[in-house]
Amino acid sequence: MRKEFSNAMEQLAMEDDSIVFITGDLGYNALENLQEKLGRRFINAGVAEQNMVGVAAGFAHKGYKVFCYSIAPFIVYRCLEQFRNDVCFNNLPVFLVGNGGGYGYGIMGSSHHAIEDLAVLSGMQNAQVWVPGFSDEVGEIVHTISGEGRPAYLRLGAGKVTPANSFVSGSFKVIHQSPVAEITIFALGPVANNVLNALTLAEDLSQKVNVITALRFPLELTADITKLISATPHLLVVEEHISIGGLAQQLSIQLLEKGIAPKSFRSLRAQGYPDGLYGSQGFHQKKSGLDANSILEQLSQILTPA
């Protein structure tokens, strides 16, 4: 999604002179077009994320809209205090953009993974968190973030193109729907592609499943989404994020408040590092049961309980 983000930023910056872009010394072979087009509005702050967000808050206080870019763990964890105190409490238009959410940076290990970022940021005052599952969603989200002008975090990964006939409802997008579905799957981010791959491995299951992605937090559960959930007895959440503060936990609160009680509720989530080993993103997804085969196994268990 990095190229899509860069292209969207270039278009936005050419339309709006108030856009400032700050990178934490990252973006090689992806942001050169921005550097050329933005000129003095493109700033390399170096490896100094705390300072970067503080500077961004200063720019925002003077009327600019500022995008701060780094890899997800650096832009979230290193400058949390500055984002909370300088940006969120003052409701300033500073937007954190983290590339490689979840296990995206694979073999580089836990210091380069972001599997708690939603829990950390989605509760911040005035802030919204955006998690596109597909590359073609990035451009519209970038323009929406800028237009709303409030603190935001955009988590990028590696996604394909949105399936045909998908539609947005509240903070969700329905990407697969069946009138005779027995399971509603909620997926967060590009791991939605693993869910779709699981359905291609057993095509007979596709008629028994709804698939919905969560685009942003705080969650907005509309009547359309509530109706889909209520019509299916089983609910499965798939996310490359820990259980605490993630999609499953936040969704369950919404369901409880609305008096919706599925027959079964299962959560597939990032398990951290159960055996102390590091590997590719695919390796960690498999260890956490987030790969297509593991998702398919879960669906089979739900539909044919012992």
Are 179 and 117 part of one and the same domain? no
Is residue 162 included in any domain, yes or no?
Answer: no
**Residue carrying the six token digits 């910056």:** 13
Are 204 and 149 part of one and the same domain? no
* Exposed e or buried b per residue across 29-57, where buried means at least 16 C-beta atoms within 10 angstroms of its C-beta: ebbeebeeebeebbbebeeebeebbbbbb
Domain boundary among 134, 156, 178: 156
Is residue 161 included in any domain, yes or no?
Answer: no
- Rounded-to-10 torsion of CA 181, 185, 190, 196: -30
Question: Residues of the chain with pLDDT > 70: what percent?
Answer: 98
Res. 65: pLDDT tops 70 = yes
Question: How far, in Å, are 31, 108, 131, 161 from residue 59 at the CA level?
Answer: 21, 33, 25, 35
Mean pLDDT, the chain, rounded, equals 93
Are 171 and 196 part of one and the same domain? yes
- pLDDT computed for residue 97 by the predictor: 96
Which pLDDT band holds residue 74 (cuts at 50, 70, 90)? very high
Tally of domains in the chain: 2
Are 191 and 85 part of one and the same domain? no
- pLDDT computed for residue 204 by the predictor: 84
Res. 205: pLDDT tops 90 = no
Q: What is the pLDDT of residues 106-143, one digit of tens each?
A: 999 999 999 999 999 999 999 999 999 999 999 999 99
Q: What is the pLDDT of residues 210-244, one digit of tens each?
A: 999 999 999 999 999 999 999 999 999 999 999 99
234: left (phi over 0), alpha (psi -120 to 50) or beta: beta
Res. 148: pLDDT tops 70 = yes
Are 152 and 87 part of one and the same domain? yes
Looking at per-residue pLDDT, the higher value among 158 and 267 belongs to: 267
Range of the domain at 233: 167-303
Looking at residue 145, which CATH number applies to its domain? 3.40.50.970
Q: What is the DSSP string of 184-228?
A: EEEEEGGGHHHHHHHHHHSGGGGGGEEEEEE-EES----HHHHHH
Instruction: Tell me the helices (H) and strands (E) count for the chain, helix number first.
Output: 12, 13
Is residue 179 included in any domain, yes or no?
Answer: yes
In the chain, what is the greatest distance between 2 CA atoms, to the nearest angstrom?
64
Mean pLDDT computed over 53-75: 96
Is residue 63 included in any domain, yes or no?
Answer: yes
* Cα–Cα nearest to 155, from 182, 116, 196: 116
Looking at per-residue pLDDT, the higher value among 39 and 270 belongs to: 270
Are 144 and 176 part of one and the same domain? no
Res. 306: pLDDT tops 70 = no
Question: How far, in Å, are 1, 10, 119, 141, 221 from residue 116 at the CA level?
Answer: 20, 30, 5, 22, 22
Q: Angle of helix 192-201 relative to helix 292-303, nearest 10 degrees? A: 60
Res. 248: pLDDT tops 90 = yes
Mean pLDDT computed over 22-30: 80
Domain boundary among 101, 128, 156: 156
Are 79 and 182 part of one and the same domain? no
**Residue carrying the six token digits 């996604």:** 159
